[in-house]
Structure 1
């Protein structure tokens, strides 16, 4: 006898929800909505989370799920917005009471009231996200009357006037651009015009929420399409206006693209599964407009753009509340993306300095340099990243990063020299560290380091 196919994870969750509340007041009142309805209809992978609209109290529905043992932990509840969240076998399920919303002009936080399924659909961002599937019967409904047709035609449309939709929640403008390119939909007539008109309202959205949407865009393989739309609609200028100055900046003989076009090419060449690398690709030339000069012979130069750019990246990332870990990593990569010159063999001392200075971000730096090379004019010589990678691996086996240090600590140096704590002690440590890097001193060789102290002391006492 032929076995029935295993249900999909989403179908299994729906069945468990239905079984849990069968015969209760919630039967017929729970509806899957959003991506967990849209994506299966498009033949896309099921989303990791599930949204459930509740005709009634979402708080009570989530509580009932927990009390009946479906969830291991009590629900997280947000009474003001009528929402609650539980986790079932690693899947986050968000319950929200069907509602209508009203907004003040200076706030993203709505006032809510209970509403019908039709009213709930009209307050959602796009028609294709306003399709509902009954948790119990599996029935599919389209309250706006346009969602299924738009899904079939691959059109992105708001359920009501787009300017009203975007005014209610300006983050929807970023979502519109992300959905356009992640789903490969065409914007409905007037949608992008409404974004242009409403762009300044993005100012009321927190940096954290913009960051979240931006990272989702950067995870799309052709993220440049999203970023270019952000620029053209005026949204990019609301939070990272510095990027707009890159457009039209000519770069000289090594480039066939202006600084903005080159940035987008490098972004797409970077791994979409690595958000830090993608951010570094986006920021790597951010300071070119400020540092551009033209030599008497016509050569275009951008001296120090990597150093200025690292500080700009740090400030701009903090503006959107990125973590210190991300800020530090991206800034480091931008600062060092010009570190390697094409056509030069990497010496052992240079490899050790690279290992010391870049540390755990070295692989990412090489990936960034490779992506940068792909954005140059065809035929222009670039860094041989594989050759550099092999040289670094050879050196790292002999002298890993933790060994590229002075064999003598500060206390030992003070004991040998009679110095008190101060800058000269630090300079002696640096002298010995450089000796390790240059191969004149073996890592950890304290005896040989002690013999170098007289020369190190003379060097340390010179004007720095």
Structure 2
């Protein structure tokens, strides 16, 4: 048993909570499935959650003053550095335009009925260790790996529409099969997802994308009609043909690129930003539908789709309430994903510019390009990244990224040329930077830079 649970068990011995306090939900489910334990615990009792939280605080088991939500019968405590939610067993009812329930105390059976899926209704007594199946269906569904709602699924999803996303996530995270009628209920109630905040939607999406089964989950979201609320731009990718180099439409190609991104990450020894790479794989071709044209020779073209895609990526990720710090690397990778295939050779100046522009995300770009190139039509000549990697390694050794800039500061440029602050200073500084990138000016060579300015 986890130290936090042991501490709570011991603190509640010889109190009214002894043998009336249960671990419930994902922790019990995962234990029975043989999955690695996580520090994510929910406790349920027929007693007062607020009183239990206060007791744990008074006994110095919880390190925080109780955070209670009387309306919902819940309390938060922190034990052994783990945040734990305590719930008073309850019934719930919902208003049509809200996912916040009206609650009242109830039995454990009633509490189980208001949960999302039967596999999450199983309870383990914190004191005796006894396993309790309050509805009598949880163990059977868990053993059969069936995803079933305790109540009619239409009612379950209308009450809390976020459960539709959780259904898809659990389907692919746990390898469960949806019970008959479950997905039909999602299609019927999908418009209810609009009442859920994007912060909560985002969290479910990121959990899906954190696993190699993310592409399957995304495709299911689209087929169930949920993507209409999440990101309708992805629906526009379906059926968009891409020409001779591709055998899949833009959507199916995107899903394959995500799968290949997981593969190339697994084959690489480099430490990378997994989330940025997977999100960039998802968004790399989002700009193709609005830029698609057929040229005079009948070829399919997507001129500038990477720049349009960068803008769309920022727009969608802001809608999902990601921070600019999280968005920037994804947009950077989307903007640059065509860069390595645009020239037959990869020169030292090109390597310096790539290092300067991508910063810490050079490796993520290489993996994204590799995943994209390996998702083309079978038989299309593969992009050989080994010479590019060798050139980048050589240039990094010769000229580290931090010196790929003008040897002179703006103040030094103004002093040498006798000019005032303004755009002209920036133009001269950019000229010096370009000379460094082209190899015509050594990094940090202030004397040569002064001579260049005075001779120009």
Whole-Å separation in 2 of the counterparts to 1:39 and 1:455? 72
How far the C-alpha of 1:138 sits from its partner, in A, is 1.1
Residue 219 in structure 1 maps to residue 210 in structure 2: yes
Distance 2:150 2:385 in 1: 50
Q: CA RMSD in A?
A: 1.6
1:402 to partner: Cα distance: 1.5
Q: CA deviation at 1:13?
A: 4.2
- Given candidates 39, 43, 59, the residue that maps to 1:48 is 39
Matched, 1:201 2:198: no
Quick one: which of 121, 138, 162 aligns to 1:130?
121
SS at match of 1:19: helix
Query: Which of the residues 81, 101, 109 maps onto 1:90?
Result: 81
Dislocated runs of 4+, deviation >4 Å: none
Deviates more, 1:361-370 or 1:339-348: 339-348
Taking the TM superposition and a 5 Å limit, the aligned residue runs for 1:277-356 are 277-341=277-341, 344-356=344-356
Give a deviation string over 1:143-189, Cα, whole Å, max 9, x none.
Answer: 12211110111100000010110111100000000001111111001
Equivalent residue, structure 1, for 2:137:
146
Q: Displacement, 1:131?
A: 0.8
User: Aligned-pair distance for 1:77?
Assistant: 2.7
Cα drift, residue 372 of structure 1: 1.0
| 1:325–1:407 Cα change, 3 Å | same
- The alpha carbon displacement at 1:15 in A equals 3.3
Question: How far 1:60 moved relative to its partner?
Answer: 1.5
Q: Contact between 1:343 and 1:382, CA under 8 Å: does it hold in 2? A: no
Partner in structure 2 of residue 437 of structure 1: 437
Q: What SS does the aligned partner of 2:339 have?
A: coil
Q: Report the equivalent of 2:181.
A: 190
Q: Does 1:244 align with 2:235?
A: yes
**Secondary structure of the structure 2 residue equivalent to 1:93:** strand
CA contact (8 A) 1:58 1:84 kept: yes
CA gap 1:316/1:455 in 2 versus in 1, 3 angstroms: farther
Instruction: Report Cα offsets for 1:377-404 as digits up to 9, x if no partner.
Output: 2232233233322321221122122211
Q: CA deviation at 1:70?
A: 2.1
Q: Is the 8 A contact 1:254 1:377 kept in 2?
A: yes
Aligned to 2:274: 274
Instruction: Measure the CA separation in 1 of the matches of 2:424 and 2:314.
Output: 31
| In 2: Cα distance, 1:27 partner to 1:275 partner | 43
2-structure distance, mates of 1:382, 1:177: 34
What TM-score do the two structures reach when normalised by structure 1? 0.93
Task: Indicate the larger mover: 83-92 or 438-447.
Answer: 83-92
CA distance in structure 2 between the partners assigned to 1:392 and 1:284 by the alignment: 23
User: Hey, what does 1:395 align to over in structure 2?
Assistant: 395
Q: How many residues align?
A: 447
Q: Is the 8 A contact 1:221 1:268 kept in 2?
A: yes
SS class of match (2:22): strand
> Contact 2:280–2:333 at 8 Å: present in 1 too?
yes
Gaps of 5+ in 1: 1-8, 457-464
> Counterpart of 2:244 in 1: which secondary structure?
coil
For 2:73 and 2:408, the matched residues in 1 are separated by: 63
Q: Does structure 1 conserve the Cα–Cα contact (< 8 Å) formed by 2:4 and 2:80?
A: no
C-alpha separation between the residues in 2 aligned to 1:95 and 1:347?
61
Matched, 1:379 2:379: yes
The range that moved more, 62-71 or 125-134, is: 62-71
Answer yes or no: is the 8 Å Cα contact 1:66–1:73 preserved in 2.
yes
Please, which runs of 5 or more residues in structure 2 have no aligned partner? 266-272
Contact 1:343–1:381 (CA under 8 A) maintained in structure 2: no
C-alpha deviation, 1:342, in angstroms: 7.1
Aligned to 1:451: 451
Distance 1:80 1:455 in 2: 76
Deviation at 1:434, TM superposition (A): 0.5
Instruction: Find the counterpart in structure 2 of residue 66 from structure 1.
Output: 57
The yes-or-no answer on 1:258 pairing with 2:258 is no
Secondary structure of the residue aligned to 1:80 is coil
Q: Identify which range, 268-277 or 136-145, moves more after superposition.
A: 268-277
Gap change, CA 1:301 and 1:206, over 3 Å in 2: same
Correspondence for 1:104 among 95, 120, 130: 95
| Residues 309 and 335, structure 1, Cα contact 8 Å, conserved in 2 | yes
1:306-342 per-position Cα deviation (integer Å, ceiling 9, x unaligned): 0000000000000010111111111111000001017
Mapped contact 1:37–1:132 kept (Cα < 8 A): yes
Query: Which sits farther off after the overlay, 146-155 or 384-393?
Result: 384-393
